[in-house]
């Protein structure tokens, strides 16, 4: 958690703020490419359509000078290091632009031996938030177009990065929509909760975009693709859908950094991040664990204390 | 498995009374893949087993299920029978329709239905079963004993006498440990050194024992049967191979007034010294902290007077690596002190007793040295402050022990007995003196122990006062002891000349660090944890490492020696075979799919999982994967439940088997 | 002192009383293993018929009434020596407070009336004046206890030294004190506080 | 001890996942002591509760279990030192997840039953069986098994047979097999 | 706060005794703080803390009275300075208990009809002098060192016990008073009874108790060769000072005490036991004297066991 005293609360975040970060990222990226600290930098380039951004691996100074940061930079870039651009790490140290939620994922991946800190040069971004989906992209971030996950972000400051770009600024008075939604679901009678999730999961088409985009779904063979034995039915039918999402939530428990990419990419608008947040909340309450910005030795479900809560056990 | 045989046992009437075994057998026969089924009165009897063997041969069975009692009862029996019939024993399973069915239900229909279900589930388990071969691990028949006290000595001698080589590593310059410091021992009052020193000499002379004193364990790698231990030999500044033990260096050393640790700081020794005259080896060591040569570079007397030229100021720490198959940990204990403890320490000192600043309040071990013929007073009881003979001595038990407020809740086990012994020794040496003992309980279980304590009270005239001491302070040359006698219900004040505290037994300093090197577990006090409190009191949970003596918990000499011999017996059992054979229920890694997140490694209580590098033909690192050392794996399967991609699998309990059983529900 | 037979049964052991003591004091009674260190260090032990360790022992046996009937609890000086040195972290000083409270509530048959009287007067003084006026306290105590001559020689000396004020006034905000007393009484009446 | 022989309308399916060292042995002890308990429970033996994957519980519910019991050694008694400690955390998390998606946790019981606690095994099994019996069959996962994805199918009012009544659909469906 | 830059300043809770039997403690405290240029502002309209009698029979009342006083103290700026060891102990105990026990805190907040000020720092003047003002600075400020004065520093019960409450010093072997004495130039003696109970409030109900316990303390101080005793509690002062004559009357005869028995004859060459008058000083009296405050404004005239002969003897007057 950041010290309240140092942060700046505003009602809108203007393009100039992002521009300043963009400049800082470019400067740093150019520098580390020039002095060959890194073989490439994973960051964002402007998208083809105006107001968009797309992840990219830049390897030359010329490209690095085109890197940007804007509210459209929604993607969690950590996934590029373990999946899409996995090979690049073999060639040497890699720079990566990281928002708070990306940092969490990087820390988690380091905890799980998927990345080594010394292989990375992390350009941290003091991120005030990014766009939600289906919102108006004016270049200015406001209460109206900020993403749901960013409303309750606790990791604006990318502590643990090699350099940090930006000054701590947050939108003021954001309603915690996710927390409210979680509370609403928790307050439902049990049958209604079941109906709520059943409806959502029944829409799932098992496109696996959630898995694809998740930095933690890096298994070479997913349990849910296995057929001897088949633990989770693989066709998009309600039984398998339910099992898939429960297994995924369980596998992410204690690891998920809350980037909510799964929810963003879901074509069927299933509120997947709620499941992950619920698990995070439980692990915080039970074991005081929070996915942080630095790697830990063991995640909460890989360790134990002799006096852990067992009130549910007879 | 497509040709499974199901054998349903009546167990006399034990099963057939409530379960319709014929129906169960019939239903089993209808399960696809079951090639043969029958029922029989006593499957475990000779004819029953013959029936099974015959059926395997006749029906070419490739899997066997015996529906009978609990597998905890007869699994071994039937697996052996199956093996005799040419089947892999792990393809034979049991369905428990007795303890879990016929004995606990009375409704015949429901019990029969349940029995059928159980058989159905277990048939699936057999169907998905795999042949498993016992795991063999080579065994290096050399043992390491850490610690050269009575525990280590006993264990080392036992193993060495059995014909195996032993490496003994002792931190101090001499072996002997605490027992060498004691004056006499309960309950027989025989002289400790008289029984101890011959054993020390035996160690030194034993052809099968390599003794490393003034040495410590640096690193431990490997696993049961195959440990590689790096030993650090601290620079002694005296070449052991040259030194004849003549002792001239010690007599000529100009720096002689260094408090001797062996005498609890009450005697003096030179800077080059052996801790005590009977030390083994009798090779001196230079205490560099106190040596003028090391501190100012000016002296060198010992080197000049040493005939063989053994003194070597340039000596450096050296390291050796020892291959051993088993390790006995016998690091012993230290005594609690009442001093003020550093801030934040979980253990507290005794301010009410003056935090150790009153010179005539001593601990039990100091009293041992005072009473010992080889001690600083030549065996006379004289108090430290002024060398006078104390006429009133107060002994206080449970100092530190059983005091959760001071951070130690346990009973130190030996204090009741040694305090009784102290009162006797005192009475023997100071006839007109009076001993008082403040105690809460006299805990004297043990052969001849209670009689010993009663002797102290009845014949040796020790006054036992049931109650504790709240405060002590110096007044003049007396120590005012403010206690209570809870039986009379009054306060008691004694002006003592000497106070002896029975301080708590604590694990040695650094016990936790050694445990971390060894990969064994320890409790919150740093005592080492045995694998099972009742049935495996000598073994560590880490295979191949055994415990002896007070490092596992407070112990007296007989218990220590017993445990040491038990540890030695465990080592010999291990060494009895060339190869270690163990149950093949261990985890295996699917290297193709393992992505090296090492969650399995993090949850493995055995430290059985290592990181393995997969390289391509050019030698480039492709990835790191988990590797299970089958010699170390305990077979709990926690790794498999933890692995997200199920790339690690426990043989005998594979997902395939379990899922098949669930599918058959 | 009579040594009355202790008949132990579920009926004669008043465990409810012990639970109350534990609730009020916030300290376990059962944890005591009777080492007697409390009694050894207690400055008042010689004045008590049940030394501190025995008070705890009687509680362990559910014999609260025996404690209340005696004067031990009223001779505790609240010096906290027992609590400080107890090897088992039994907060005996708090247990003593709890026992006195329960005795006070029950208007118990304690033998020790002087200490109780002094406490009562002290608290009444607070309620009336807000602060303590020692002359009034001393005088009232002597009156009520019938020891008219107690410390007779001390009084005038102290007054002349300025240590006892002859006159005093009430606190201006005395109503607030009354409020505290009243609200505590109310809470107790409603069972919201012990 | 004679259990009453009452024929119930509903016999719940109870699945018990137990560790071999403590609870399985405890259940054995209940047997050798001839204690009586409802016959609804089907025991699956594991080396340790640490081996039990939440997926198994999920699968058991899908396969028709009305109640699931997971039982192992008391803390500190684990034959494998720490398997039950890991299981404790894993299942604490899993319970929270199930509850969040609307599963009634009364159907999922966890217990520590040692090899000496035959009586406790009987109590735990009896209590769970009777509790689930009064709750009735567990519909949630079973329904999912029989439902199809498309909302017309998911709608409760639409019967599968009526949807498949067009010959083309029926033919297509049958050919999938 | 860096000392020297900003003037130390405290709110002040004197307590009932300091307005009556312990008035010289109050007077000397104010004089000392003035001499040290440390601010001291009395909490207006404070109440009695309830002292021992209240918690003796009614913990809730005791906690409520203290909580009320703490909230009154909130009105005045600065940490709360307390001189009386009993008031200090009660106020600290209240904060400790209410922080630990939520249900009690709620009850107390009902009783005082407002929030309990649990975070107002409560400081005994000993810690203010030794730690906040600082021993080094104190030593510098000494104008008239108390050379040759052998002082038995008496802590009593409430300054250090139970250890988790006052957090003033080691509960069995404190040194704050001795450190302070050394800073003032005096010589603290090593003695055995510095933490024994004086009999406290039994002075009213059972003075016999006080005579016995206080006698042991005086005897021990004399045995250690002390010229006087330093206290930080008006109740201890009262018992040791006001009743000193009575104690001598009751226990003065030879061989009537343990110490008389064993040491009296031996150490004093068979002469009568040591019966010296021991003046009892408040810590602030000695400190103020060392700071050069005029002795007339330290309330020495209010003391029963006259300290002036001793002070004259040591050339401190």
Do both E246 and E304 map to the same domain? yes
The full 3-state SS of E114-136, as one line of letters, equals: CCCCCCCCEEEHHHHHHHHHHHH
- To the nearest whole angstrom, how far is the Cα of B480 from the nearest Cα of chain E? 10
Flag if B482 and C40 touch (Cβ within 8 Å). yes
pLDDT at D152: 42
Flag if B480 and E223 touch (Cβ within 8 Å). no
The residue among E82, E97, E123 that closes a domain is: E123
Domain that holds residue E29: 9-123
- To the nearest whole angstrom, how far is the Cα of A222 from the nearest Cα of chain D? 14
Split at pLDDT 50, 70, 90, the class of B529 is confident
Specify if A307 maps to a domain: no
Cβ-based interface (< 8 Å): residues of B facing C: 352, 398, 402-406, 440, 466-471, 482-486, 489-492
Q: Which domains does chain D have, with CATH numbers?
A: 14-138 (3.40.50), 147-176 (no CATH)
Specify if A77 maps to a domain: yes
Helix orientation angle between B557-575 and B150-161, rounded to the nearest 10 degrees: 30
Q: Which residues of chain D lie closer than 8 angstroms to B635, CB-CB?
A: 47, 80
Do both E117 and E202 map to the same domain? no
Reply yes or no on whether the pLDDT at B112 is more than 70: yes
B-C CB pairs within 8 A amount to 78
Specify if C36 maps to a domain: yes
Split at pLDDT 50, 70, 90, the class of E273 is low
Q: Which residues of chain B lie closer than 8 angstroms to A218, CB-CB?
A: 595, 597
d(CA D49, CA D71): 7
Once rounded to an integer, what is the mean pLDDT over residues B515-527? Answer: 87
Reply yes or no on whether the pLDDT at A214 is more than 90: yes
pLDDT at E260: 41
d(CA B11, CA B9): 5
> Is chain D in touch with chain B: ≥3 Cβ pairs within 8 A?
yes
Q: Look up residue B486 and give its two tokens.
A: 């809870």
Do both E144 and E255 map to the same domain? yes
Specify if E129 maps to a domain: no
Do both E117 and E143 map to the same domain? no
Flag if C98 and E113 touch (Cβ within 8 Å). no
Interface of B with A in 634-663 (CB under 8 A): 642, 644-647, 655-656, 658-660
Once rounded to an integer, what is the mean pLDDT over residues E189-213? Answer: 90
Specify if C2 maps to a domain: no
Specify if C71 maps to a domain: yes
Reply yes or no on whether the pLDDT at A111 is more than 80: yes
Q: Which residues of chain C lie closer than 8 angstroms to B352, CB-CB?
A: 41, 85
Helix orientation angle between C174-189 and E102-111, rounded to the nearest 10 degrees: 130
- Give CB contacts under 8 A, 24+ apart, made by A284-287: A286/D89, A286/D92, A286/D93, A287/D89
The full 3-state SS of C99-147, as one line of letters, equals: HHHHHHHCCCCCCCHHHHHHHHHHHHHHHHHCCCCHHHHHHHHHHHHCC
- To the nearest whole angstrom, how far is the Cα of B428 from the nearest Cα of chain C? 29
Reply yes or no on whether the pLDDT at B521 is more than 90: no
Do both C83 and C123 map to the same domain? no
Flag if D92 and A282 touch (Cβ within 8 Å). yes
Flag if B354 and E263 touch (Cβ within 8 Å). no
Q: Look up residue E214 and give its two tokens.
A: 């206080």
Do both C84 and C135 map to the same domain? no
pLDDT at E269: 43
Helix H or strand E encompassing B259 = strand B258-259
Once rounded to an integer, what is the mean pLDDT over residues B370-389? Answer: 94
pLDDT at A3: 40
Reply yes or no on whether the pLDDT at A242 is more than 80: yes
pLDDT at D146: 76
Do both C20 and C93 map to the same domain? yes
> Is chain A in touch with chain C: ≥3 Cβ pairs within 8 A?
no
Split at pLDDT 50, 70, 90, the class of E253 is low
Of the CA atoms within 13 Å of residue A80, those in its CB half-sphere come to: 22
| Closest partner CB to D85 (pick from A254, A286, A306) | A306
Domain that holds residue C91: 15-105
Specify if A312 maps to a domain: no
The residue among E123, E145, E176 that closes a domain is: E123
Flag if D110 and A314 touch (Cβ within 8 Å). yes
Split at pLDDT 50, 70, 90, the class of C174 is confident
Please report, for the domain that includes residue E95, its CATH number.
1.20.1050.140
Do both E277 and E208 map to the same domain? yes
Reply yes or no on whether the pLDDT at A190 is more than 60: yes
Q: Which domains does chain B have, with CATH numbers?
A: 4-127 (3.40.50), 136-225+319-332+527-580 (3.50.50.60), 235-316 (no CATH), 333-506 (3.50.50.60), 583-663 (3.30.70.20)
pLDDT at A137: 83
pTM score, whole prediction: 0.72
Q: Max CA-CA distance within chain B?
A: 98
Do both A18 and A160 map to the same domain? yes
Specify if A305 maps to a domain: no
Do both C99 and C117 map to the same domain? no
> Is chain E in touch with chain D: ≥3 Cβ pairs within 8 A?
no
Flag if E200 and C77 touch (Cβ within 8 Å). yes
Q: Where are the alpha helices (DSSP H) in B88-165?
A: 108-127, 150-161
Q: Give the chain A residue whose CA is nearest to the CA of B598.
A: A112
Looking at chain B, the whole-number percentage of residues with pLDDT higher than 90 is 89
The region, left, alpha or beta by phi > 0 then psi within -120 to 50, assigned to residue E210 is alpha
Flag if D97 and A283 touch (Cβ within 8 Å). no
| Closest partner CB to B646 (pick from A218, A226, A299) | A226
Specify if E57 maps to a domain: yes
Q: Which residues of chain A lie closer than 8 angstroms to B598, CB-CB?
A: 112-113
The residue among A143, A171, A199 that closes a domain is: A171
Split at pLDDT 50, 70, 90, the class of E263 is very low
Reply yes or no on whether the pLDDT at B284 is more than 90: yes
Reply yes or no on whether the pLDDT at E271 is more than 70: no
Do both E76 and E169 map to the same domain? no
- To the nearest whole angstrom, how far is the Cα of E292 from the nearest Cα of chain C? 24
The complex's ipTM works out to 0.67
Once rounded to an integer, what is the mean pLDDT over residues B28-47? Answer: 95
The total domain count for chain A is 2
Do both C83 and C118 map to the same domain? no
Reply yes or no on whether the pLDDT at B300 is more than 60: yes
Split at pLDDT 50, 70, 90, the class of B580 is confident
- To the nearest whole angstrom, how far is the Cα of C146 from the nearest Cα of chain E? 12
Reply yes or no on whether the pLDDT at E102 is more than 80: yes
pLDDT at B414: 96
The total domain count for chain E is 2
d(CA E281, CA B202): 70
Q: Give the chain C residue whose CA is nearest to the CA of B468.
A: C37
Specify if C7 maps to a domain: no
- For C75-87, how does the pLDDT look when each residue is reduced to its tens digit (9 = 90+)? 999 999 999 999 9
Do both A90 and A225 map to the same domain? no
Do both A190 and A159 map to the same domain? no
Looking at chain D, the whole-number percentage of residues with pLDDT higher than 70 is 80
d(CA E171, CA C38): 16
Q: Testing the interface with B: which of E167, E192, E223 to mutate, by most B Cβ within 10 A?
A: E192
Could you tell me which chains touch chain E, where touching means 3 or more CB pairs under 8 A? B, C
C-E CB pairs within 8 A amount to 168
Q: Would you say E310 and E228 are in contact if contact means Cβ atoms under 8 Å apart?
A: yes
Of the CA atoms within 13 Å of residue A279, those in its CB half-sphere come to: 29
Q: Which residues of chain D lie closer than 8 angstroms to B106, CB-CB?
A: 2-3, 5, 36
Domain that holds residue A230: 177-287
Helix H or strand E encompassing A46 = strand A40-46
Q: Which residues of chain A lie closer than 8 angstroms to D55, CB-CB?
A: 223, 231-232, 243, 247
Q: Could you tell me which residue, C31 or C174, shows the higher pLDDT?
A: C31
Do both C142 and C62 map to the same domain? no
Cβ-based interface (< 8 Å): residues of B facing E: 340, 350-352, 354-355, 473-476, 480, 493, 495
Do both C68 and C126 map to the same domain? no
pLDDT at E264: 39
The residue among C105, C137, C159 that closes a domain is: C105
Do both A241 and A137 map to the same domain? no
The residue among C105, C138, C159 that closes a domain is: C105
Do both E145 and E294 map to the same domain? yes
Do both E181 and E93 map to the same domain? no
The residue among C105, C127, C160 that closes a domain is: C105
- To the nearest whole angstrom, how far is the Cα of A245 from the nearest Cα of chain D? 10
pLDDT at C166: 61
d(CA D91, CA A250): 10
| Closest partner CB to B637 (pick from D11, D13, D46) | D46
Flag if B354 and E267 touch (Cβ within 8 Å). no
Split at pLDDT 50, 70, 90, the class of D164 is low
Specify if E131 maps to a domain: no
Q: What is the number of other CB atoms lying within 10 angstroms of the CB of residue C183?
A: 18
Do both A17 and A151 map to the same domain? yes
pLDDT at C132: 82
């Amino acid at each position: 958690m950041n010290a309240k005293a140092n942060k700046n609360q505003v009602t809108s975040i203007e393009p100039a703020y992002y521009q300043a970060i963009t400049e800082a990222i470019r400067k740093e990226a150019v520098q580390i490419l020039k002095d060959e600290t890194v073989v490439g930098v994973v960051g964002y380039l402007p998208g083809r359509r105006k107001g968009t951004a797309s992840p990219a691996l830049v390897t030359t100074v010329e490209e690095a000078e085109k890197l940007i940061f804007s509210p459209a930079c929604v993607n969690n870039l950590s996934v590029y290091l373990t999946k899409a651009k996995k090979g690049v790490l073999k060639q040497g140290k890699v720079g990566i632009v990281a928002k708070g939620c990306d940092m969490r994922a990087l820390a988690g991946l380091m905890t799980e031996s998927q990345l080594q800190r010394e292989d990375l040069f992390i350009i941290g971004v003091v991120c005030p938030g990014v766009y939600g989906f289906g919102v108006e992209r004016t270049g200015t971030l406001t209460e109206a177009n900020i993403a749901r996950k960013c409303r309750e972000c606790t990791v604006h400051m990318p502590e643990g990065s090699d350099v940090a770009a930006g000054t701590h600024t947050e939108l003021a008075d954001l309603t915690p929509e996710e927390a409210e939604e979680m509370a609403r679901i928790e307050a439902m009678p049990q049958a209604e909760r079941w109906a709520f999730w059943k409806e959502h999961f029944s829409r799932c088409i098992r496109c696996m975009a959630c898995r694809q985009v998740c930095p933690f779904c890096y298994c070479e063979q997913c349990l849910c693709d296995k057929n001897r034995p088949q633990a989770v039915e693989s066709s998009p039918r309600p039984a398998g859908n339910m099992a898939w999402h429960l297994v995924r939530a369980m596998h992410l428990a204690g690891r998920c950094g809350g980037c909510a990419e799964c929810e963003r990419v879901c074509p069927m608008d299933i509120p997947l991040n709620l499941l992950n947040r619920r698990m995070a909340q439980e692990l915080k309450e039970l074991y005081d664990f929070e996915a942080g910005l630095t790697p830990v030795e063991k995640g909460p479900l890989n360790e134990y204390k002799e006096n852990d809560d067992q009130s549910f056990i007879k | 498995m497509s040709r499974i045989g199901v054998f349903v046992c009546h167990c006399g009437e034990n099963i057939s009374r409530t379960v319709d075994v014929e129906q169960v057998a019939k239903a089993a026969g209808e399960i696809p893949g079951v090639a043969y089924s029958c029922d029989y009165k006593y499957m475990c009897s000779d004819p029953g087993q013959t029936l099974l063997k015959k059926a395997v041969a006749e029906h070419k069975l490739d899997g066997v299920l015996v529906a009978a009692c609990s597998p905890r009862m007869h699994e071994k029996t039937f697996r052996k029978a199956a093996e005799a019939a040419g089947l892999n024993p792990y393809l034979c399973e049991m369905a428990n329709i007795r303890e879990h069915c016929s004995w606990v239900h009375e409704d015949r229909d429901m019990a029969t239905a349940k029995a059928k279900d159980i058989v159905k589930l277990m048939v699936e388990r057999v169907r998905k079963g795999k042949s498993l071969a016992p795991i063999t691990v080579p065994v290096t028949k050399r043992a390491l004993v850490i610690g050269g006290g009575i525990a280590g000595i006993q264990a080392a001698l036992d193993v060495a006498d059995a014909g195996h080589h032993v490496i003994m590593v002792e931190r101090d310059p001499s072996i002997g440990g605490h027992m060498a410091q004691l004056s006499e021992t309960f309950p027989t009052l025989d002289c400790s050194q008289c029984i101890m020193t011959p054993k020390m000499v035996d160690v030194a002379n034993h052809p099968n024992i390599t003794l490393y004193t003034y040495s410590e364990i640096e690193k431990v790698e490997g696993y049961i049967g195959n440990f590689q231990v790096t030993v650090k030999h601290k620079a002694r500044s005296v070449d052991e191979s040259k030194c004849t033990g003549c002792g001239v260096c010690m007599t000529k050393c100009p720096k002689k007034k260094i408090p001797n640790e062996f005498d609890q700081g009450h005697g003096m020794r030179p800077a080059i010294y052996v801790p005590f005259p009977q030390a083994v080896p009798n090779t001196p060591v230079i205490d560099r902290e106190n040596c003028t040569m090391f501190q100012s570079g000016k002296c060198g007397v010992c080197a000049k007077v040493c005939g063989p030229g053994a003194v070597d100021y340039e000596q450096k720490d050296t390291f050796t690596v020892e291959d051993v198959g088993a390790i006995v940990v016998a690091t012993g204990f230290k005594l609690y002190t009442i001093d003020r403890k550093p801030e934040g320490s979980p253990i507290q000192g005794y301010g009410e007793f003056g935090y150790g600043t009153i010179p005539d309040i001593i601990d039990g071990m100091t009293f041992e040295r005072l009473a010992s013929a080889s001690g600083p007073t030549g065996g006379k009881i004289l108090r430290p402050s002024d060398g006078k003979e104390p006429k009133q001595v107060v002994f206080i038990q449970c100092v530190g022990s059983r005091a959760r407020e001071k951070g130690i809740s346990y009973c130190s086990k030996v204090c009741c007995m040694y305090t009784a012994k102290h009162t006797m020794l005192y009475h023997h040496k100071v006839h007109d003196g009076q001993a008082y003992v403040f105690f809460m309980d006299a805990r004297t279980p043990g052969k001849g122990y209670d009689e010993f304590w009663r002797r102290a009270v009845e014949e040796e005239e020790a006054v036992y006062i049931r109650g504790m001491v709240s405060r002590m302070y110096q007044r003049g040359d007396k120590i005012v002891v403010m206690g209570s006698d809870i039986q009379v219900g009054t306060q008691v004040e004694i002006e003592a000349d000497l106070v002896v505290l029975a301080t708590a037994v604590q694990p040695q300093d650094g016990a936790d660090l050694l445990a971390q090197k060894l990969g064994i577990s320890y409790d919150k006090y740093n005592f080492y944890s045995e694998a099972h409190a009742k049935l495996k009191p000598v073994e560590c949970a880490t295979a191949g490492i055994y415990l002896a003596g007070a490092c596992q918990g407070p112990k007296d000499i007989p218990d220590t020696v017993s445990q040491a011999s038990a540890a030695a017996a465990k080592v010999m059992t291990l060494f009895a075979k060339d190869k270690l054979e163990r149950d093949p229920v261990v985890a295996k890694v699917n290297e193709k799919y393992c992505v090296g997140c090492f969650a399995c490694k993090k949850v493995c209580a055995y430290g059985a999982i290592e990181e393995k590098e997969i390289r391509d033909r050019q030698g480039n690192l492709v990835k790191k994967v988990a590797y299970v050392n089958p010699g170390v794996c305990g077979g709990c399967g926690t790794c498999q439940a933890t692995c997200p991609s199920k790339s690690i699998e426990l043989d005998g309990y594979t997902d395939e088997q379990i899922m098949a059983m669930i599918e058959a529900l | 002192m009579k040594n009355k037979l202790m008949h132990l049964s579920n009926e004669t052991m008043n465990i409810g009383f012990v639970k109350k003591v534990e609730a009020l004091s916030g300290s376990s009674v059962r944890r005591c293993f009777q080492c007697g260190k409390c009694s050894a260090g207690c400055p008042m032990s010689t004045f008590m018929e049940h030394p501190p360790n025995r008070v705890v022992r009687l509680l362990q046996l559910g014999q609260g009434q025996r404690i209340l009937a005696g004067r031990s609890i009223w001779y505790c000086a609240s010096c906290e020596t027992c609590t400080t040195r107890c090897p088992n972290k039994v907060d005996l000083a708090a247990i003593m407070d709890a026992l006195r409270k329960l005795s006070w509530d029950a208007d118990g048959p304690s033998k020790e009336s002087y200490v109780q009287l002094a406490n009562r007067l002290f608290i009444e003084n607070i309620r009336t004046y807000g602060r303590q006026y020692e002359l009034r306290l001393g005088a009232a105590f002597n009156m009520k206890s019938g020891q008219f001559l107690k410390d007779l020689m001390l009084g005038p000396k102290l007054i002349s030294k300025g240590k006892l004020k002859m006159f005093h006034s009430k606190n201006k905000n005395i109503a607030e004190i009354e409020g505290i007393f009243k609200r505590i009484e109310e809470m107790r009446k409603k069972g919201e506080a012990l | 001890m004679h259990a009453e022989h009452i024929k119930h309308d509903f016999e719940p399916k109870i699945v018990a996942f137990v560790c071999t060292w403590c609870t399985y042995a405890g259940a054995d002890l209940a047997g050798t002591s001839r204690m009586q308990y409802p016959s609804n429970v089907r025991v699956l033996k594991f080396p340790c509760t640490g081996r039990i994957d939440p997926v198994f519980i999920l699968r058991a519910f899908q396969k028709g279990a009305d109640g699931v019991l997971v039982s192992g050694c008391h803390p500190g008694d684990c034959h494998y030192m720490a398997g039950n400690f890991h299981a404790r955390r894993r299942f604490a998390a899993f319970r929270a997840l199930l509850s969040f998606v609307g599963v009634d946790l009364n159907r999922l019981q966890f217990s520590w039953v040692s090899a000496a606690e035959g009586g406790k095994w009987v109590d735990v099994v009896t209590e769970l069986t009777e509790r689930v019996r009064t709750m009735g069959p567990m519909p949630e996962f079973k329904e999912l098994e029989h439902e199809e994805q498309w909302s017309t199918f998911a709608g409760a009012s639409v019967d599968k047979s009526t949807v498949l009544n067009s010959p083309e659909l029926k033919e297509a469906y049958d050919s999938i097999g | 706060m860096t000392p020297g830059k900003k003037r130390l300043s405290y709110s002040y809770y004197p307590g009932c005794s300091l307005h009556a039997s312990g008035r010289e403690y109050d007077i000397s405290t104010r004089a000392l703080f003035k001499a040290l240029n440390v601010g001291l502002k009395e909490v207006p309209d404070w109440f009695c803390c309830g002292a021992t009698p209240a918690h003796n029979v009614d913990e809730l009342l005791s906690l409520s009275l203290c909580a009320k006083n703490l909230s009154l103290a909130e009105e005045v700026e600065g940490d709360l300075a307390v001189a009386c060891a009993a008031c200090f102990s009660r106020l600290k105990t209240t904060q400790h208990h209410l922080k630990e026990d939520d249900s009690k805190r709620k009850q107390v907040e009902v009783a005082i009809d407002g929030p309990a000020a649990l975070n107002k720092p409560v400081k005994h003047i000993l810690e203010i002098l030794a730690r906040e003002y600082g021993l080094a600075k104190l030593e510098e400020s000494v104008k008239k060192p108390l050379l040759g004065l052998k002082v038995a520093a008496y802590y009593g019960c409430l300054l250090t016990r139970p250890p988790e409450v006052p957090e003033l010093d080691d509960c069995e072997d404190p040194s704050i008073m001795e450190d302070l004495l050394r800073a003032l130039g005096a010589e603290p003696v090593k003695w055995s009874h510095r933490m024994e109970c004086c009999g406290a409030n039994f002075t009213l109900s059972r003075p016999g108790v006080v005579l016995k316990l206080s006698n042991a303390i005086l005897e021990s101080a004399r045995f250690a060769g002390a010229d006087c005793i330093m206290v930080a509690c008006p109740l201890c002062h009262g018992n040791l000072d006001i009743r000193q004559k009575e104690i001598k009357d009751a226990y003065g005869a030879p061989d009537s005490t343990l110490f008389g028995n064993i040491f009296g004859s031996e150490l004093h060459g068979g002469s009568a036991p040591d019966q010296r008058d021991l003046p009892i000083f408040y810590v602030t009296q000695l400190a103020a004297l060392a700071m050069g405050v005029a002795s007339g404004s330290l309330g020495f005239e209010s003391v029963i066991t006259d300290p002036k002969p001793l002070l004259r003897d040591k050339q401190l007057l």
